[in-house]
Amino acid sequence: MKLLLKSLIPLVLGTSALACPHYDAAVAAVNTADLATATTVYDQIMVEPSCDDALRGWMATFLARESFAIGMDETLTPDARRAAYDAALGYEPHWRTYAALGRLAWDGQDYTAAAAGLQLAINALVDGPQEHEATPDEIAEVYQLAAAAVALSDAVVPMPTMRSGEEGGLFATSIRGYEVTEVPLPITFTYGTDDFDPSGEAYAQMLADHLVMFAPEAIALTGHTDPIGSDAFNQGLSELRAAALADFLRAAGYQGDITVAGLGRTQLPAVPPGIVEGSEEHHRIARRVTFAED
């Protein structure tokens, strides 16, 4: 793969790049798509004072794209693909690479790793360069798969922090114009009750910390259940669980207004790739409480 012809490179990098003693080797490696040589030359450029940041960035972009392409090769083992994606991120943090790592983990049913990678993709969409383009459909796909992975993870998955210091991941509700109307959290309960289970309490506390810090004036909580049981039972249970979360948030220090509702089993989530509709995994994703700033 040739990113730039040699004759065009000075126009992009500026004449100061020519002072770098590794310039010709860098150009040759890129123009011949010689990844091994380019990697060695990049390491030399990084420690050579006369090589400027424009040349380093140009080489890093090449190495990131080549490594990403290797990771996309489905004939390789998952470990080899993961190593290639990790290498790509070492050169250029890109939302597509984080998302690809998350999807690779998802396909391997490592939902904890999938949730981590996909939420980092969300953060990179918010914080990363705008030239790393993404369509609204791509953003929605990453967000929805991240929410499903968080729900399916056997471990509590934290929301990664963005450069601003704010919590990102699922708590990032405005992503390049894509607006998240409701944040789905796996705030789960002991079977048939409105008592948090340990995982549910951890996510409830996570939400409480977020709300206390940012203090929105009002929020809406909506409880959802899986489809097991009658409509009446699930409707009542979803309302009780949303109310239990509201009580928890108030006790934790959130002082805004809280509107509570329950929708029972009437709004089952879409089935993510690789998940069987009506399976236990699908039901785990369905058992959630959503919140929105009101």
In this prediction, residue 166 has a pLDDT band, given cuts at 50, 70 and 90, of confident
In this prediction, residue 157 has a pLDDT band, given cuts at 50, 70 and 90, of very high
In percent, the amount of the chain with pLDDT more than 70 equals 94
72: pLDDT strictly greater than 60: yes
Q: What is the pLDDT of residues 177-204, one digit of tens each?
A: 999 999 999 999 988 889 999 999 999 9
46: pLDDT strictly greater than 50: yes
How would you class 89 by CB atoms within 10 Å of its CB: exposed for 0-12, middle for 13-18, buried for 19 or more?
A: buried
Q: Where are the domains positioned within the chain?
A: 1-92, 93-180, 181-293
1: pLDDT strictly greater than 50: no
10: pLDDT strictly greater than 50: no
Q: What is the pLDDT of residues 110-126, one digit of tens each?
A: 999 999 999 999 999 99
Q: Considering just the CA atoms, what is the radius of gyration of the chain in Å?
A: 23
Pairwise CA distance, residues 22 & 40, whole Å: 10
Q: What pLDDT sits at residue 5?
A: 41
Q: What is the pLDDT of residues 199-231, one digit of tens each?
A: 999 999 999 999 999 999 999 999 999 999 999
Pairwise CA distance, residues 171 & 184, whole Å: 9
Hey, how many other C-beta atoms are within 10 angstroms of the C-beta on 206? 19
Averaged pLDDT for residues 91-109: 98
Report the amino acid identity of residue 241.
R
pTM equals 0.91
Q: Are 256 and 230 in contact (CB under 8 A)?
A: no
- 3-state class of 259 per DSSP? strand
Domain 181-293, what architecture? Answer: 2-Layer Sandwich (3.30)
The pair of three-digit structure tokens given for residue 139, joined into one six-digit string: 């953003």
Averaged pLDDT for residues 125-150: 96
In this prediction, residue 17 has a pLDDT band, given cuts at 50, 70 and 90, of low
Averaged pLDDT for residues 34-39: 95
- 3-state class of 80 per DSSP? helix
The pair of three-digit structure tokens given for residue 80, joined into one six-digit string: 């080899």
In this prediction, residue 274 has a pLDDT band, given cuts at 50, 70 and 90, of very high
